[in-house]
Copies of this chain bind each other. A is one copy, B any other.
Amino acid sequence: MASSTLTAPVMQKGIHGWNPCARISSNARVNSHRTLNCPLSMSTVRKPHFFRAHPASINPPHVSASQRYSLDTKKFPVSCAGKFQLDDVIESQQFDTDILNGIFEVAFEMEKIEKNSPGSNILKGYLMATLFYEPSTRTRLSFESAMKRLGGEVLTTENAREFSSAAKGETLEDTIRTVEGYSDIIILRHFEGGAAKRAASTATIPVINAGDGPGQHPTQALLDVYTIKREIGRLDGISLGLVGDLANGRTVRSLAYLIAKYKKVKIYFVAPDVVKMKDDIKDYLTSMGVEWEESSDLLEVASKCDVVYQTRIQKERFGERIALYEAARGKYIVDKKVLDVLPKHAVIMHPLPRLDEITVDVDSDPRAAYFRQAKNGLYIRMALLKLLLLGW
């Protein structure tokens, strides 16, 4: 159930003692990550958290600043001792605004790498395994493009379900222990909620959750927030209209969760009655001091928003209730009339794929941001691959 995807805010406390000055030099990577990869140490190395404390020994003092990957270091003073590193990307609850901002900065660097050169080589020699237990071509291609744009290599499987469990009954944990022997990072797509967390606690190499059933899809959540930042220029003070299937939509729920971490956010919910936003998110927003309001007037909401985030009504959620689906589907459409009232600086977003909930004639408007949003998924994934394999 989607309602189980975001646990109460209290539970997230304490899991990220992230320190922005943490870093691991690219020079040290071979030692740290290859050692973890060693089968002999398998049973002794276990990661308690998504963020792991690194012993000082893996950050050798003889590494000069110039040997590090060139990032703007102004925000990350090198004077403080490194303590934490991003080890896995499992769920939205991992991220506070400091980490988000750090990731977004790296993602912005990645835009430059992709535009100004015929590919980077910073991940040359690294192997990523895309272990997909259910196909998701869009997500898979985005990750694989990210890895290859950075000079890395990819092992792909789209039928991991056949690989292990069904016919032969291997556990996910055993599969992970095998695949980690062949690769340096695992991108996992699974049909079961919680699968990514299980994989991460087994693996001695980084794991990124590329969607686990009704559970989490954290890289989608990150790219959504990054798109708002890139398109509008800020995250504090944003007015956001969430439209469509708010009950089942994993993306809008995660977006609401993350955007609540910023200041003075206002959220409008515009949804057909059968797929209204659930109370857990509303309660959470209230507890975070986020102003929210439900509305049935898309035009009025659009006239007041920085971002209108449209989503697809998911037919598969309605079963045989076809009439109900058809009614819900046609109710809130983003079309030229919405563009007419939308502020000039505002944008339309959509996680894609879209059916007709945004009409095609909207595409040519500069405020139609959804294909740029998809592209931002590439930069976010490039950033995460870089951060998990080379460190900050």
Q: Which residues of A contact B (CB under 8 A)?
A: 29-30, 34, 37-40, 42-43, 115-119, 124-127, 129, 135, 137-138, 140-142, 144-145, 148-149, 153, 155-160, 162-164, 167-170, 174-175, 177-179, 181-183, 312, 316, 352-355, 363-366, 368, 371-372, 374-375, 378
Do A179 and B141 touch (CB < 8 A)? yes
In the complex, which of the residues B157, B158, B170, B363 contacts A159, with contact meaning CB atoms closer than 8 Å?
B158
Q: A156-B156, A170-B352 are in contact. List 9 more A-B contacts (CB 8 A).
A: A40-B366, A119-B153, A137-B160, A140-B157, A142-B182, A145-B183, A174-B353, A178-B371, A181-B375
In the complex, which of the residues B39, B159, B372, B378 contacts A182, with contact meaning CB atoms closer than 8 Å?
B378
Cα separation A366 to B44 with both chains bound (whole Å): 9
Q: Which residues of the partner chain B approach A149 to less than 8 Å between Cβ atoms?
A: 127
Smallest distance from the beta carbon of A27 to chain B beta carbons, Å? 11
Do B169 and A353 touch (CB < 8 A)? yes
Chain B residue nearest to A129 (CB atoms) is B141
Chain B residue nearest to A164 (CB atoms) is B353
Do B39 and A371 touch (CB < 8 A)? yes
Smallest distance from the beta carbon of A177 to chain B beta carbons, Å? 5
Do B169 and A148 touch (CB < 8 A)? no
Do B43 and A366 touch (CB < 8 A)? yes
Chain B residue nearest to A157 (CB atoms) is B137
Q: Which residues of the partner chain B approach A141 to less than 8 Å between Cβ atoms?
A: 129, 155, 157, 179, 182-183
Cα separation A168 to B351 with both chains bound (whole Å): 13
Closest 7 CB pairs of A and B: A118-B125, A119-B125, A170-B353, A145-B182, A181-B375, A137-B163, A39-B372
Smallest distance from the beta carbon of A58 to chain B beta carbons, Å? 15
Do A155 and B160 touch (CB < 8 A)? no
Do B126 and A118 touch (CB < 8 A)? yes
Question: Provided the pairs A39-B372, A142-B182, A182-B378 are in contact, do residues A116 and B155 lie with their beta carbons within 8 angstroms?
Answer: no
